[in-house]
Structure 1
Amino acid sequence: MDRADAAEPVLLSGARLPGADGVFDLSLADGRVVSITPTGAAPAPALAPASGAAHPRRIELDGRYVVPGLHDRHVHASQWAMVSRRLDLAAAASAAEVAALVAASVDRGQAEVIGFGYRDGLWPDAPSRRLLDAVSGEVPVVLVAADLHACWLNSAAARRHGVAELAGDAGVLREDDCFALVRELDDLADDVLDGWVGEAADRAARRGVVGITDYEMRWNRDDWARRAARGIRSLRVSFGIYTQHLDRAITDGLRSGDLVEGTGGLVSVGSYKVITDGSLNTRTAWCFDPYPGLEGHEHAHGVATVPYDELVPLMRTAVEAGLTPAVHAIGDRANARVLDAFEALGSAGWARRGSIEHAQLLRREDVARFARLCVIASVQPEHAMDDRDVADRYWPGRTDRAFMLGGLAAAGVELALGSDAPVAPLDPWIAIAAAVGRTRDGRQPWHPEQAIEARAALAASTGGAGHTVQAGAVADLAVLDLDPFTASADALRRMPVAATLLAGALTHDALGG
């Protein structure tokens, strides 16, 4: 999957630009958009690239639409690559249905069962270790929740991983205990995992994706440098750094935005990532009000995983080293506290371009604070479709303040859209459709007042390139069969992508010419 020669000049002829009248020719050279001229006008004079090639390759688009290439702002790349190799639990509507799926896997002779995608927030029955033991015997079973914040194990797996006491009778690990186990599951041979990641990168390119932000809980610099050296070059990758690696990153002089040598300019240092609460489906998102049915419980309001008096020094250490904070907060109490932390950092430049990852449940007064503090809301609109019923049950009477994309945009907050793959598919068109339509599967839109316009959703999905292609910009482009500004939400979700270009080189080509 080596990237095509980015120095080859290309002429995209007969292109439409969403929101603009007419048909255009886009001249690409040295990885940039040299010019945009009406089709049939005199060609741009500066097409000869530095390589010395004299004539551009002409690609007829026949009126297809060209937009900036898409970026997924929040991905767990290794876990996304593994999902297709794991038992799919997404359709299970109860613990009993999950047990039946596990039983079928064991009957097929699997020596170990690893599953992904269960959502137990609305189940009529609860996960239990005994239920899995009854269908699995001594075959280890580890099932990862769709939100990545919980794992359900049988006794054999609990013993194998040394977590029997932590998992208890329910066989469930949450938050940091779950993350530690998932990291063990991710510990595959480099060549195997890299091969799977490469396949996932190719699939992403087929959806118009040119870049991702990878928040895998690994030392990502070496992973992506190795992958680039092995030819995985169809994506730009900005990688996150977690607390367990913060000292190493500072010692190595990593700063947000710096390019990693030897990666062809495709891999860059991303943000410092810290997780401050849990998730809504796991009922660990930290909220001001207790979860119904959990009143009086130790964690009735969810879980604050990093105390404030630790969070602020960690963020300050990162900022002073040149690392931008990206802070996970889902509950309204967590979001308020993280905004307090950004405010405590003052006007430090690196902090002012920081983000809150997810920003799902908010107080209205905190929307204005996002804008005032210049904190980016890095949101995953498809989560609203996945969690709407869970939110209605566990956040009743307040869901007008859930997934407030419209309110944030109206307040002038910069939005960045992503998937949190594998929590939702690594497909920005799914995120854009959810942001625009607030619906899926034919249901009535959920709080449609929080929808945003298609051009705003597209602009939040292009890594800062905006909603339209500009002359002089990097030639990271997607070629579409439909106008994204006028397509319905359902059509956006299925958007046909005819081609993807990274620095002017095709990484996906379904043009048929």
Structure 2
Amino acid sequence: MLLRNVRPPGSRQLQDLLVSGGGVAAIRPAGQLSGAEAQESCDAEGRTVLPGLWDHHVHFTQWVIQQQRLDLSGADSADETLRLVASAAAQLSASQRLTGFGFRDGLWHQPPTLAALDAATGEVPTVLVSADLHCMWINSAAQRQFGAATDATGLLRETESFAVLQRLDAAAELTTADYRRAADVAAARGVVGVVDFENDDNTALWPQRVAAGVDALRVEVSTWPDTLERVIDRGLKTGDGLDSQGLITMGPLKVIVDGSLNTRTAWCWDPYPGLAADHPHRCGVEAVPIEELTRLLQRANGAGIGAAVHAIGDRANTEVIDTFAALGMTGRVEHAQLLRVEDVARFAPLGLEASVQPEHAMDDRDVADAYWPGRTDRAFALRSLHESGARLRLGSDAPVSALDPWAQIAAAVTRSRDGRAPWHPEQSIDVATALRASTRAGLDLREGGPADLILVDADPLTATGEQLRSMEVAATMLAGRFTHWKL
């Protein structure tokens, strides 16, 4: 394939690219490749060419399932959520189940109650999953079904919530077509690869999906503590290929050390406002004891498996960074949402990557102002991390935010959405930095590299924030074949 008249970002110089054998065989000024070497030719008409984009943090099955669940993301109160749920429940019988997704109760004036949810849903088993995936609002009928028990709020948090969520996911009827459709939608936004942190048997399931035709993405798969020994017994190491097409590779061990901001379980040095001094989770939750984290990381590291550790609160980040330092190992801190100033500078010397989700800052800005007062200047501190030398990786945490790297790039650059004033604009990063953090190959394609590339209608380096967020992707190529085409 000869791609003619492409334009590198920030350049007015047109080029031709020869793609062969899944790689970039040649890059020359426009007109200097004859086309005799190519079986096909395509005129890009001056569009900007970039390396394909990666989403460095997704829960892919959760993203697929979300499309089948009642959307609660637009509800901004308990009453509005209950109206949506009551309307949906009225269409179901007690032998069916209602599952919703996307509520954010952090700023609700009226707190969730079990009584209110029961009144809205009756005997229809109902499970409402929060947008951050760290809690659920579950009615009495569903509690009986799952053998769960809540207090008067009807909320399950963290470990108890995850246990019910796993059973919900296992009962979902997902098809290969569902996965293929989600992968194709991602490819249409310029995505060539994802890091999948779904808590499942990813090393077995993803090769099966590829063999069945879900082949529009590269996938780096994770393992979790409960599957770590199984992966080690198979002799798998981070970076190992897992399928015949070369699309699936072994990734890191994922460990969750604390909760989330909206659920008020992120582990912080300072207490959450309004909680009593004797509240058991006044400063959040230590979801995995640091002694257990140390054991898990030692075990993984000794077996050649990297580590990606979820840490949102500043106490969690301190403890995780301390653990990596004590073990003398590198890895990734997932989220790194709230950081002490002194901890920002520790990432680069320790070789730690900051895997961040800029769109979460747009979702959480008001919640952060409410629950992290006086500390938000060091929340989602992208520029501070970048200027300290830390390597950034951008992701969506889909379905917490959409699997769309352009939304993450726009949020990182503008710190704004929906016309609102920028939130802590001093922590914004430039477009080039955001793009590099959203790829595996920087900004430049190179001869001999993989032909994972995209063509976009506008040069991102000169685009406005809104243009970035709505960037038109004309084509996406993975290993030399088009996975998306609009030319």
Q: 1:192-211, aligned counterparts within 5 Å?
A: 192-211=174-193
Q: 2:44 aligns with which of 61, 64, 74?
A: 61
Opposite residue 332 of structure 2, the aligned amino acid is S
Partner of 1:396: 373
- CA drift of 1:91 comes to 1.0
Opposite residue 209 of structure 2, the aligned amino acid is R
Partner of 1:468: 444
CA contact (8 A) 2:3 2:44 kept: yes
Partner of 1:30: 21
- CA drift of 1:194 comes to 3.2
- CA drift of 1:295 comes to 3.7
Opposite residue 205 of structure 2, the aligned amino acid is D
- CA drift of 1:261 comes to 3.4
Q: 1:336-351, aligned counterparts within 5 Å?
A: 336-346=318-328, 351=329
Q: 2:139 aligns with which of 142, 154, 175?
A: 154
Q: 1:183-194, aligned counterparts within 5 Å?
A: 183-188=166-171, 192-194=174-176
**SS at 2:249's partner residue?**
strand
| In structure 2, distance between residues paired with 1:378 and 1:387 | 17
CA contact (8 A) 1:456 1:467 kept: no
CA contact (8 A) 1:35 1:44 kept: no
The count of corresponding residues between Structure 1 and Structure 2 is 484
2:239 paired with 1:257: yes
Opposite residue 470 of structure 1, the aligned amino acid is R
| In structure 1, distance between residues paired with 2:145 and 2:159 | 18
Query: Normalising to structure 1: TM-score of the pair?
Result: 0.93
- CA drift of 1:112 comes to 1.7
Partner of 2:88: 105
- CA drift of 1:179 comes to 0.9
Give ranges in structure 2 of 5+ residues lacking alignment.
none
Q: 1:331 aligns with which of 302, 313, 318?
A: 313
- CA drift of 1:21 comes to 3.0
Give me the CA root mean square deviation: 1.2
Q: 1:149-188, aligned counterparts within 5 Å?
A: 149-164=134-149, 167-188=150-171
- CA drift of 1:487 comes to 0.4
Partner of 1:85: 68
- CA drift of 1:313 comes to 1.3
Partner of 1:3: none
Q: 1:21 aligns with which of 12, 31, 41?
A: 12
| In structure 1, distance between residues paired with 2:22 and 2:458 | 25
Q: Percent of aligned pairs with the same residue?
A: 53
- CA drift of 1:82 comes to 1.0
CA contact (8 A) 1:78 1:193 kept: no
**SS at 2:261's partner residue?**
coil
- CA drift of 1:468 comes to 2.1
Opposite residue 203 of structure 1, the aligned amino acid is V
CA contact (8 A) 2:66 2:399 kept: yes
Partner of 1:484: 460
Partner of 1:11: 2
Query: Normalising to structure 2: TM-score of the pair?
Result: 0.98
- CA drift of 1:357 comes to 0.3
Opposite residue 74 of structure 1, the aligned amino acid is H
- CA drift of 1:44 comes to 8.1
CA contact (8 A) 2:393 2:437 kept: yes
| In structure 2, distance between residues paired with 1:247 and 1:113 | 35
- CA drift of 1:42 comes to 4.2
- CA drift of 1:272 comes to 0.4
**SS at 1:93's partner residue?**
coil
Opposite residue 3 of structure 2, the aligned amino acid is L
Q: Deviations over 1:400-433 (max 9, x none)?
A: 0000000000011000000000000000000000
2:107 paired with 1:122: yes
| In structure 2, distance between residues paired with 1:497 and 1:252 | 39
| In structure 2, distance between residues paired with 1:321 and 1:158 | 40
Opposite residue 147 of structure 1, the aligned amino acid is D
CA contact (8 A) 1:37 1:43 kept: no
Q: 2:275 aligns with which of 294, 319, 322?
A: 294
| In structure 2, distance between residues paired with 1:401 and 1:238 | 30
Partner of 1:139: 124
Q: 1:248-327, aligned counterparts within 5 Å?
A: 248-262=230-244, 264-296=245-277, 297-327=279-309
- CA drift of 1:206 comes to 0.4
Q: 1:307-456, aligned counterparts within 5 Å?
A: 307-346=289-328, 351-352=329-330, 354-456=331-433
CA contact (8 A) 1:436 1:451 kept: yes
